[in-house]
Each structure stands twice: as structure tokens, then as C-alpha cells.
Structure 1
Amino acid sequence: MKSFRSEIENPVVEKDILELEAKIRQFKEGNVDEEKFRSLRLARGVYGQRQPGVQMIRIKLPYGKVRAHQLRRICDVSEEYSTGRLHITTRQDIQIHYVDLERTPELWAQLERDEVTLREACGNTVRNVTASETAGIDPEEPFNVSPYAQGVFEYFLRNPVGQELGRKFKVSFSGTDADTGLSYMHDLGFIAKLENGIEGFRVMLAGGLGSQPRHADLLYEFLPADEIVPLMEAIIRVFDRYGERKSRAKARLKFLLKDIGLERFKELVAQERVAVPHKTYPFEVDLYPSTIPTTQKAPFAAITDKAAFELWKKTNIVPQKQPDFVAIGVKVHLGDFHTPVARKLADLVDTYAAGEIRLTLRQNILIPFVKEDDLPYFYNELAQLGFVDPGYNKANDITACPGTDTCNLGISSSTGIAVELEQVLQQEYPDYVANPDLVIKISGCMNACGQHTMAAIGFQGMSIRTKDKRVAPALQVLLGGANQGNGQGRFADKVVKIPSKRGPQALRLVLDDFNTHGAGHTFPEYYQEKGEPYFYDLLKELSNVENLTDADFIDWGSEKKYEKAIGIGECAGVVIDLVATLFFESDEKLETAQNALVDGKWAAAIYHGYSAMVNGAKALLIAENKKTNTHAGIIREFQELFVATGKVDLLGNFSDLVLEIHQNEPTEVFAQEYVQTAQSVITQLKNVRNEELATV
């Protein structure tokens, strides 16, 4: 493995990357449990893909902002370690595919040379913080939310409270009441508000997509900006302790809210506020790096196809609040582009714009700070890159996850059907190129990475079985989803399940009916007026599986007979003692706690001590084949099974001892005492385990 230490200036980052390198080696040698290794590498942006032996790498880019030099660095990495293809995600990340696992540490080190990270891009962590792509330029925004998105990203990066959650935790910031950050579908969504000159946010809690979408609850009408970090940390602490851990299908925050209710959740959050190290957390907005547009004038450019240019300006130009500047929306087909194009784009924005781009939630690119007079030049340059397709964020701009192309969980093709539907729109419904309310999204499975459950017209990849037990690729058609603004949204209804090859015909039927009966209405209004039964009747004939042809058993973009094959293992499994692994991790957490004490990071030290004790209790419960679904359950059951029965003598109640974490402020004295207690507890628990093994 290539040495990379000399390339890393930040010792924290260097330690992180070296740890990944060491864990990869231990896993290959069979000394680390597969599940624990998966957790560690996912938290470092390394994700198994459908094809065996290679990894998908997710690059974490807060609120989608990418400087030109960072884009060039990503290109370097993609060319050296991957295939040169870059994929924009619906969370404003970039993914590259087909990377050798053993090369991921050096890849990460290369990215860090330009302050680009993989850390917590995947896994049960605080994921990439997303935001409105127009933050900082939107004429309607009360203030720029970018500094707050950046501040939250920085605060929770490597923060111990968010490293091993039951499931992922997603956060968004919206700059205006249009809620383009989609707060209603996030674990925490913030919508910018200004009250009496004070910057703050409307706060939405516990939304989510997946197979059971949930609309977020309103938590605060207005929360001052300096309280969002303490609030978020308290919420994550509650989620970490009470959230489900065994069943992934029930492990998101939305299920915890469903189980205990909003009022009880608020009570738990209030209890945790004592332990949060900051009562307020002011953001240094004035120190946030300003975007400075270039003063260089672009060369004169003549337009040969004026009609195409005018259509492009109509559908792809975004107004800015800064006089004489506009932003250019670039429609990126399925979110995929390649490094030669990316390099030229970086040079273009560096020279004639502001040296940055924004990746969008709809897998596109926004170029801010373009002089209006320079639009002809940009149009010609972008045309050479294949980047002037009209319809940015419009009906023919379809969002799709990778589906069965590379994802382990894909059931049927997302990208293949997306290509077909875009062709239908372009060739048969050209007027829809300017329609902003007909949002079409496609996911390859129920997990909704393509966000199909919030689309006006959504498709979910499935399979369908005939009476003679033949299996064909299928689509669940969903209709009526909409973002209604200010934290309100509507999830789409499941209407009918059809063979995948009939997806284009379903789209035609819906659009033809809309053209006939929807005059004067937006598509969401038209759907609400007609209702789900109307559309079931409209589409039900397409669900008939008794008249399938051979072509129906071949998925879009494939020439082979369809097989439902949800991807399996990313690496060969190993068999080791999970109990021993948990105790080993407890020791690691205690060591990290001691280092935090040396560095004066009292809250971090306390949380590592807490995690060590919960891990140790979990180890002994697993040895007894007991449930370990939640941290709260582990603490309670360990007290009943081991402490109350005298198997472990802790001179007190285990629950009281561990949960001192949320009853004390994170002072130096308490941190020292708590970590010392944690060390004593782990020593006793390991002794109990050793005694058990000695009697076997």
C-alpha cells in the first residue's frame, strides 16, 4: 500500500486514515468482525457495490459547494483510482465507483490535500448537511444559510455523539419558505427566518422517506441560530440512546417519534441539554469565506442558434440578488459526468465566474456569479461540454438513483427507465421542458434514494411474478407528491404496480389526461382534484401480467433475462468472537477518552466513556443471547440480569451510574470521574467474562 503520511498536514485526519488502513488489514486477516468493519468503513465513505471486489466511494461535500481546485482534485482521484466517471447524488455528494478496497486510504489522503473528506459520508452517522443550492444568491432569502450548514458540518464531523448511531441522521437547510432544502423529509430540517432582526430557523423534526415515508413534525416556529447546534446534539444523544439498533427497518428517528410521541421526545431532549457542552453556539458568520466573483470579462461570443439560446435562458437561468449576476443551471443527465468535462468546467468557473459550483438535490450543477453579459460565451462553452440541455429543474429533468447498475439493493433498473422516459418527454411532450411542478423521480428499490415518494410522478423498482412463476422487472407507480413550502409537503400515493417495460405508456396516459383535464392547474392540484382511485382506473390495464411478451422479462438497459438479485456480500465473511470484539472496542473507546481528557475535550471524553460501558454491557448480554436493540434497553437489561442478581458488583445501580452522563454538565471534574468509573466498570465486566470462559 502506497505511503501517504507525508501528504497529510492535519494529524487528526492522518490518524483517521491510518486507522482505516489498519482495519482493512485486520479484516483481511480475519481479525475484525465483518459487521464492525462494515460500520467503520461506511463511516469513512467506503461502500460496497453490486459488483464483487470493488467499492463505491462517496465524497462528502457540505451543501454541495465545490471550489474549482477541489473539483480538479476529485478528477485526479477518479482517474487514478476509479473510472473517471463522477456521479452527483440527491444529497449533494459525488460518488465514484469500482475502487479497490485496499487503495481507499491513499485515495482519501489525496482528497484531503484540498480539504475534501470521505468521513461520515455513509454509515450510521450524521450524513452530509444539505442546503438550498441558491443559498447566498437567492433574492427571496432573509439571510445566507451557507455558514450555518458549514458550521453544523464542522461541529459534528468526528463528534463522538454521532459515530455509531442506530441509523443515519440527515439534516437540511432551506434559504426561503420555498423550502428547496426539503425540510419535511429530513431528521432535522431548518428553514431560514428573521424575527426582530435576529437570524433563526423554523425547525422540522423526524421526517423521512423509504418504504414508510413520514412527514416531519414542527418542533419550533422560530429557534435563534445560536441554539441549533445544542438542540441538534441533544436530539442526536436521545436518538443514540433510545433508537432501534437491531432492526434496520425500524431504526430511523421517525420510528422513535412514532413509538414514544413528540411530547415524550421533547422531555428526553430537555434532559440531555444538561450534558451538551454548549448552551448556545454562535456561528462566526462574518468569518465565513465570501464568494468573490472574477472581474475578468469573457470574450465576445456569437450565437448561431438563437432559438435554442433563448429557450436555454428561459429554463436554465436562475436570478441572483447580486445586481448584474445570474446563476446557470446545468442539467446533468442522471447526475453522471466525466473528468475531462469536469476539468473544463472547473477552468471555466475559475476564470469567468466565482471559482465554485453547487451540486444540487436534483443531481445537477449550479454555476453562481455569472455576468449577464457573459451568457453567450458561457452558452457556447457549456455546449462544447454537452451541458446546455434545456429544462433545469423542470419536468424533463428526471432524478434517478443508480439502481441495479451498481447498488447492492437495487431490484430493477432506475437509469434505464429514466432514459426512456426522458426520450418520451423530449420527443412527444416538448412543452414540458418549461414545466417546474411536474417532478419525476425514480428509485431502484423501496429505500427511496431517488426520492420517488415525494415526486409528482414517481416510480419504484420492484419485481412481478406471473402465474407460471416467471419473474419480470416491475415499477410501482406513485402520484401526487409535492413540496408545498415552509416545511409542508405531500408524499405520493401508491397507485398501481406494472411491468417495467410499460413505464413509458403509464407516463403517456397520465400526461395525456393532464393535458385534457388539467387546464389551469398545476399537476399536484390536478392530482388532488381527481384522486387516487381515478388514476388507478386510468392505469389498471397496464398491471395485467397475463399478456406479457418476452421483452417484458428483460429490464431496461439490459439484453439478458431479468433475475431478481439483491446484491450480497461485499467481502468474504469471517467468523470471530463478537463478544471479544466488543470488549476490544471498549478498550479502544477508553483509550480515546483518555486522549480527549489530555486535550481538554471533556464532553467527548465523557461520551467515549459512556460508549465503552454500553459496549461492555452489550458484550455480556450477547453472550447470554439477550436482546440488545437499543442503548436504553441494554442499560436496563444489564442492570436486571447482571447487577440486580449479584453477578456483577458495581456498588450501585448500573442505570444510575451510566446515565450520570445526562445529569451533569461536562466539566473537567466530572469528565475525569466518569472516565475513571468507565475504566473500572469495563475491568469488572471483562473479569466476569473471563470467569465464564474458564468454566466452559
Structure 2
Amino acid sequence: MQSFRTELENPIVEQEIIELAEKIRKYRKGEMPEEKFKSLRLARGVYGQRQAGVQMVRIKLPFGKVTFQQILKIADIADEYGSGNLHLTTRQDIQLHYVSLDRTPELWSKLAEDDITLREACGNTVRNVTASATAGIDPNEPFDVSPYAHRTFTYFLRNPICAEMGRKIKISFSSSELDTAFSYIHDFGFIPKIRIENGKEIRGFKVMLGGGLGAQPILAQTVHEFLAEEEIIPYMEATLRVFDRHGERNNRNKARFKYLVQKLGLEEVLALIEIEKKAIKNKTVVVDRHSQISTNLPTKEVSEIEPQDPLAFELWKSTNTFQQKQEGFYGVYVNVQTGDIPTEKARKLIAGVRDHIADDIRITQDQNLLFKYVRKESLVHIYEALVALGFGKPGYNSTADITTCPGTDTCNLGISNSTEMARVLENYIHEFHQDFIQEKEFKIKISGCMNSCGQHGLAHLGFHGSSVKAGTAVVPAAQVMLGGGTVGNGEGRVAERVIKVPTKRVLQVLDLLLSDFKNNQAAGQNFHAYYDQQGKDYFYKLLKPLADLSNLTADEYLDWGHEETFATAIGVGECAGVLIDLVATLLYEAEEKLDLADLAIGKGQYADAIYHAYSAFVWTAKALLLDKGLSVSTQAAVLAEFDQHFIAEDLFTLPTSFSERVLQINKYEPSKEFAETYLLQSKAFCLEAAERREELKAVVQ
């Protein structure tokens, strides 16, 4: 591993990077268990790739905001450490591929110089906080949600309550009731609202809870029609404490928050949240409303020029631009096919537009870019620069603008090549269905497997990778999903599985559906209404001939973009992190938690210290239960089982039950006195547990 040096101003980040390098060294020497190391690197944005020996690095960009300098820095990093490509994601991140594990600390160090983090971009924690790309300039918004998204990001970054949960948590802020950040598919979804009280405007949010896509999509439920702005972060904190304690930890397929709501019922979950409110760090969190306002606006005088192709420009302008709420300025969308920007194009893009836009670019949830504060005189300049780079296609957010995950290009879980399918379908629409370039009520989304990274479950027409048996052969297939999408104000629809067809027939699926919709829809009828009118069985019958496997051609045995015979070579996915059930690893983590608690008390961070001490209690108890061959799936169950198998059998002596001792955590305010007392109790328990374990080992021997 190469040595590296960082000139970071933030000592916490500097220490984290040094620690990552040290952990990699220990892992390489066999001094750190595989599962522990995997969890650690995921929490630092380093994700296993389909190709052996290289990693995907996910760069966490809160609400998709990125500056000129940051894009240029990421491009330099992609050239030096990766494949020379920037991949924009549906969660407004940027991903780099083909990175050597040993070089990730050095890579992180260089990114941190420009205030870019990898921390908690993957793993069982709060993922990137997303928001409508138009936040701050949206003509429909009650107020700018960017400051709230940013404060949520900073509040939960490195926060012990969400450092090692059973699964990930996803949060979104929509700019208006149009719900362009898809609140209904998130663990927490927020839609801005304003109330008038005594003649004064009061800001707040409609709160959606417990949504998620994946293989089993579940729509979020409304838990607050209006929650005051200063209460939303405390509400999330209390909820995360509930999820951490009661969420599933053994079966990761059932470990998302949506399943906890399903298991306990919304009423019980809400009651548990109320109990936790007493112990949270802050009862209110005030957000600086002006913290994320764009200030670096274009200042250079620009003369308006004539477009080389006036008709093409007018079409692009009609689909890819809009007038901001700030008079005299436009927002401009950039279509980035499959979300991929080669580094050479990234540099030329910035050079071509930086005099014409604000230094505040947003990555959109559909893998495109949004430029802000563009003057009318600059529109043609920007258009010509985009055309020269291949980013000047019209049809943003239309049928011709397809969202996709990386699929089998790099993902361990990918079944099919979703990116090549997306390119083929987009190009086909531009050539043969040009009237749909302006249709924004029929969206196509593609995932390489059923896990919905391409958001196929919320598409009007969705595809996910699959396979079918044809005799002794396995044929690449696409599961066709219909009828999903955003309704508005927190309401959404999950697409229904209709039929599975060989993947090379998706163009025929597209032809049939678009032609049928175009020819039979009522005047002004959108696809949701048309789908409901016709019914699922109508579309099944329409597409059924395409599922016939008796007439397969040689080409249909091959996946898009491939010349070799198709095989469902699926690896082990890491999106949800990993489960840590090794006894030694749990005890090691408990020791780390006690050290972190000591440090937190020294800094006056009493709530953090209490939560670290709580984690040490739980990890130690779980390790002892595992020593007895007992595997439990939630932290709450750990407490109950420890009482039954250790306290009831007098293997430990406590003045109360173990559950009562540990659950003091939600009975007291996070004061210095309680933090010191609780930590002392946790240390005593962990010490006694180590002694008991040694005694048991001696008996066994």
C-alpha cells in the first residue's frame, strides 16, 4: 500500500482516513475478520464490485449538490484511481469503479481536500439524504428544502444511533407537492408545508414513514400532516433509536424499517417513538434557512447567439429548461444517458458552461444534471456546448429519458445488462416514437435485478432483469412492470408485475405499449388512468405473444451488449451491508464502543456517550448468547433472551433485570451524571462478561 499524506482541516476526517489505512493493513495480514472488515469499508463508501480485486467507491453528495471544483476533483480522482468515468446514481451520488482497495485511503484523503466525503455512503446507516434537484429555484415550492436536507445529513453523519443498524435508512425532501423526490418510497419522506398562525407563516413538513422499494415495495404512510421544521430531526432521531433496537438483524431481507412497521403495526411503532423522545440528544433542531442559498451566480456579460439548428434548439428548450421562481433565470436539465460521464467530457462540460451557470450543480434522481441561474442569453451557448459533448438530447424526464442501475456492468447482484438495454430503448424512442419525447406522464425505469436500484417499481413501464428456462437453456429475460409512479403530495403507486419476456423483445414491448396508449387513450388521459381503465389482464393479453419461447432466435439467447451465452452469475450483494455475528467481533466492537463513550464524555457529548455504552451492553450480551448457541434477530430480543438464559440462571448478578438496566437509556435525559453512571455500569458488565466467558472456556477445556 502506498503511503499518503493529507492536509485536511478536519482532524476527525483525517483520523478516519488513517484508521482506514490501518484496518486495511490488518485485514491484509489476517488480523481482522473478513466480516468485520467488510462492514467497516462499507461504512466508508467502499463497495465490492462484480469484478474480483477491485472496488466501487461511492461519493456521498448531500441532496446532489456539487461545485465546479468538486466535479473536476472527482474527475481527476477517477482518472488516477478508477476507470475514468463518473456514474451518477438515483440517490444523487457519484460512483467510481475499478478502484484498488489499498488506494482507497489515499483517494479519500484527496477528495476530502475539497470537502467531499465517502463516510456512510454504503452500509447499515443513514445513506445519502436526497432532495428535489430544483430545491431553491422551484416555482412551486413553499420554501427551499436544501438547508433541511443538508442539516439532516450533518446531524446523522457519524451519529452513534445510526452507525451500525440492521439495514440502511433512506431520507428524501421534496420541494413541493409534486413530490419529485419520491417521499412515498422512503423510510422518511418530507414534503414542505406552510401554516398561517396569528398572521405569521410557520414552516413545517408533511411526514411520510416506512416506505421502500426492493423486491417487496411498500408505500410510506402519512404520520404527520404538519410537523414543525425544528421537530423533524428530533423525530428522525427517536425513530432511528426504535429501528436500531427493534429492527431485524439476522435476515437482511426483512431488516428494512418498512418490515418493522409491517411486523409491529404503525400504531405500536409510533408509540415506541414517543417513548424514545425523552432520551434524544435535542428536543428541537433549528435549521439555518439561508445556509444553502446559491451565491456564486454567473457574472460574465454574454451576447446572445443563434443556434446552428433552430428547430432542435426549440425542442430542447421546451423539454429541458424552465423558468425559475427567481425572475430572469432558467433552470437547465442535462440529459446524461445511463448517468455516465467520461472524465474528459466532464472537464469540457465545466469549461463550456461555467461562465453561464451558478456554481451549484445538482445531480437529479433520474441520473441527470441540473444547471441553475441561467440567463436567457446563455441558453444557446449551453445548448451548443451540450450538443458537442453528446448531452444535448431533448426530452428530460420524458419517456425518452430512461433511468437505470449499472446492472451486470459492475454489480454483484445484476442479472441482466440494464445499461445497454436503456441505451437501446432511448435511441429507439428518439428514432421511432418522437412524439413521446415530450411525454412526461410515461416514465421508463430499468433495474438489473429485482432490487430496484433503477427504481423500476415506481415506473409507468418498468423492467427488471430475470431469466427463463427454454428447454435446457437459460434465456435472459425482462420482467415487465406497469402502472407505477408518483401521484403527488406523498401518494404514489407501485408498478404491477404483468409478464416476463426474453430481454431482446423489450423493443416490441415498447412498441405495443406506446402504440396502444397513443391510439386508445381518451383526450387528456394519462397512463395511470388508462392503465386503471383497461386493467392488468388487458396488458397481459396484449403482451402474451411476446412471452412465447417456442420461436426463439439465436440472438435471444444472448443478453444486450453481450456475445457470450447468458448465465445468471449472481454474486453476494453488499448494498445492505453485512451481518456481524462472530463472537470475537462483537466483543471487539463492544470494547471500541466503551472507548468511544469515554471520548464523547470528555467532549461533553453525553447523548453520544450514552448510546455508545448502550451498544457495548448489547454487543457483549449478544456475544455471550452466541456462545450458548442462541442467535436472536433484534436488540430487544437480546435483552429478553439474556435475562432468560443468564440472569434467571444466576450466571450474572444485577440489582434489576438486564433489560431494565440497559433500557435506562430511554428513561433519562442525556445529562453528564447519567452518562457517567450508565457508562460505568456498561464497563462493569463487559468486564464481568469477559470473566464469565473465560470461566466457561476453562470448564469446557
What range describes the TM-score normalised by the shorter chain of this pair?
A: over 0.9
Q: Deviations over 1:482-505 (max 9, x none)?
A: 200000011111000111111111
Q: Deviations over 1:235-289 (max 9, x none)?
A: 0000000000111110000000001111101110001001101111111223445
Is the CA contact (8 Å cut-off) linking 1:456 and 1:492 kept in structure 2? yes
CA distance in 2, matches of 1:594, 1:300: 62
1:613 maps to 617
Could you tell which deviates more after superposition, 382-391 or 304-313?
Answer: 382-391
CA distance in 2, matches of 1:286, 1:415: 39
CA distance in 1, matches of 2:52, 2:456: 28
Which residue identity does 1:253 align to in structure 2? F
Aligned-residue offset at 1:20: 1.4
CA distance in 2, matches of 1:513, 1:286: 49
Is the CA contact (8 Å cut-off) linking 1:194 and 1:200 kept in structure 2? yes
* Structure-2 change in CA distance of 1:146 and 1:315 (3 Å): same
CA distance in 1, matches of 2:274, 2:623: 30
Is the CA contact (8 Å cut-off) linking 1:349 and 1:367 kept in structure 2? no
2:498 maps to 495
Q: Deviations over 1:536-581 (max 9, x none)?
A: 01111111223222222110000000011002499xxxxx992122
1:566 maps to 570
Alignment of 1:686 onto 2:690: yes
What SS does structure 1 have at the residue aligned with 2:674?
Answer: helix
Which residue identity does 1:413 align to in structure 2? N
What SS does structure 2 have at the residue aligned with 1:651?
Answer: coil
Q: Deviations over 1:157-186 (max 9, x none)?
A: 000011101110000001100001100000
Aligned-residue offset at 1:302: 2.8
Alignment of 1:664 onto 2:676: no
Give the alignment partner of residue 484 of structure 2, picking from 466, 481, 484. 481
* Structure-2 change in CA distance of 1:288 and 1:537 (3 Å): closer
Is the CA contact (8 Å cut-off) linking 2:345 and 2:389 kept in structure 1? yes
Is the CA contact (8 Å cut-off) linking 2:6 and 2:110 kept in structure 1? no
Alignment of 1:541 onto 2:550: no
Could you tell which deviates more after superposition, 499-508 or 185-194?
Answer: 499-508
What SS does structure 1 have at the residue aligned with 2:278?
Answer: coil
Alignment of 1:278 onto 2:272: no
Aligned-residue offset at 1:31: 2.0
CA distance in 1, matches of 2:462, 2:640: 43
Aligned-residue offset at 1:50: 0.3
Could you tell which deviates more after superposition, 296-305 or 179-188?
Answer: 296-305
Q: Aligned ranges for residues 553-632 of structure 1 at < 5 Å? A: 553-568=557-572, 578-632=582-636
Aligned-residue offset at 1:348: 3.9
CA distance in 2, matches of 1:474, 1:612: 47
CA distance in 2, matches of 1:353, 1:610: 49
CA distance in 2, matches of 1:90, 1:27: 32
Is the CA contact (8 Å cut-off) linking 2:353 and 2:382 kept in structure 1? no
Q: Deviations over 1:459-512 (max 9, x none)?
A: 01001112x231111111000012000000111110001111111111111111
Aligned-residue offset at 1:59: 0.3
Could you tell which deviates more after superposition, 339-348 or 247-256?
Answer: 339-348
CA distance in 2, matches of 1:577, 1:284: 41
Could you tell which deviates more after superposition, 181-190 or 27-36?
Answer: 27-36
What SS does structure 2 have at the residue aligned with 1:191?
Answer: strand
1:91 maps to 91
1:573 maps to none
Is the CA contact (8 Å cut-off) linking 1:54 and 1:99 kept in structure 2? yes
* Structure-2 change in CA distance of 1:562 and 1:642 (3 Å): same
CA distance in 1, matches of 2:382, 2:47: 36
What SS does structure 2 have at the residue aligned with 1:280?
Answer: coil
What SS does structure 1 have at the residue aligned with 2:654?
Answer: coil
CA distance in 2, matches of 1:519, 1:88: 37
How many positions carry a matched residue from both structures? 690
CA distance in 2, matches of 1:601, 1:122: 25
Which residue identity does 2:514 align to in structure 1? L
2:307 maps to 303
1:504 maps to 507
CA distance in 2, matches of 1:421, 1:75: 28
With the length of structure 1 as denominator, give the TM-score of the two structures.
0.97
1:257 maps to 261
What SS does structure 2 have at the residue aligned with 1:273?
Answer: helix
1:19 maps to 19
Alignment of 1:192 onto 2:195: no
* Structure-2 change in CA distance of 1:140 and 1:393 (3 Å): same
Q: Aligned ranges for residues 264-663 of structure 1 at < 5 Å? A: 264-466=268-470, 468-520=471-523, 521-568=525-572, 578-663=582-667
Give the percent of matched residue pairs that are identical in Structure 1 and Structure 2.
Answer: 51
Aligned-residue offset at 1:300: 4.2
2:72 maps to 72
CA distance in 2, matches of 1:673, 1:350: 56
Q: Deviations over 1:605-650 (max 9, x none)?
A: 0000011110001111111121221111111111111111111223
1:49 maps to 49
* Structure-2 change in CA distance of 1:239 and 1:620 (3 Å): same
Is the CA contact (8 Å cut-off) linking 2:6 and 2:14 kept in structure 1? no
CA distance in 2, matches of 1:82, 1:568: 22
What SS does structure 2 have at the residue aligned with 1:7?
Answer: coil
1:173 maps to 173
CA distance in 1, matches of 2:218, 2:664: 33
CA distance in 1, matches of 2:531, 2:214: 22
With the length of structure 2 as denominator, give the TM-score of the two structures.
0.97
CA distance in 2, matches of 1:130, 1:298: 33
Q: Aligned ranges for residues 95-106 of structure 1 at < 5 Å? A: 95-106=95-106
CA distance in 1, matches of 2:357, 2:542: 49
Could you tell which deviates more after superposition, 668-677 or 285-294?
Answer: 285-294
Aligned-residue offset at 1:291: 2.9
Aligned-residue offset at 1:439: 0.4
CA distance in 2, matches of 1:291, 1:540: 55
Q: Aligned ranges for residues 112-127 of structure 1 at < 5 Å? A: 112-127=112-127
Is the CA contact (8 Å cut-off) linking 2:213 and 2:455 kept in structure 1? yes
Which residue identity does 1:44 align to in structure 2? R
CA distance in 1, matches of 2:572, 2:276: 39
Which residue identity does 2:442 align to in structure 1? L
Aligned-residue offset at 1:290: 3.8
* Structure-2 change in CA distance of 1:65 and 1:166 (3 Å): same
What SS does structure 2 have at the residue aligned with 1:366?
Answer: strand
Query: Cα RMSD (Å) of the superposition?
Result: 1.4
Is the CA contact (8 Å cut-off) linking 1:174 and 1:182 kept in structure 2? yes
Aligned-residue offset at 1:410: 0.5
Is the CA contact (8 Å cut-off) linking 1:411 and 1:565 kept in structure 2? yes
What SS does structure 2 have at the residue aligned with 1:512?
Answer: helix
What SS does structure 1 have at the residue aligned with 2:77?
Answer: helix
Which residue identity does 2:638 align to in structure 1? I
Is the CA contact (8 Å cut-off) linking 1:481 and 1:490 kept in structure 2? yes
Is the CA contact (8 Å cut-off) linking 1:606 and 1:674 kept in structure 2? yes
CA distance in 1, matches of 2:387, 2:50: 34
What SS does structure 1 have at the residue aligned with 2:355?
Answer: helix
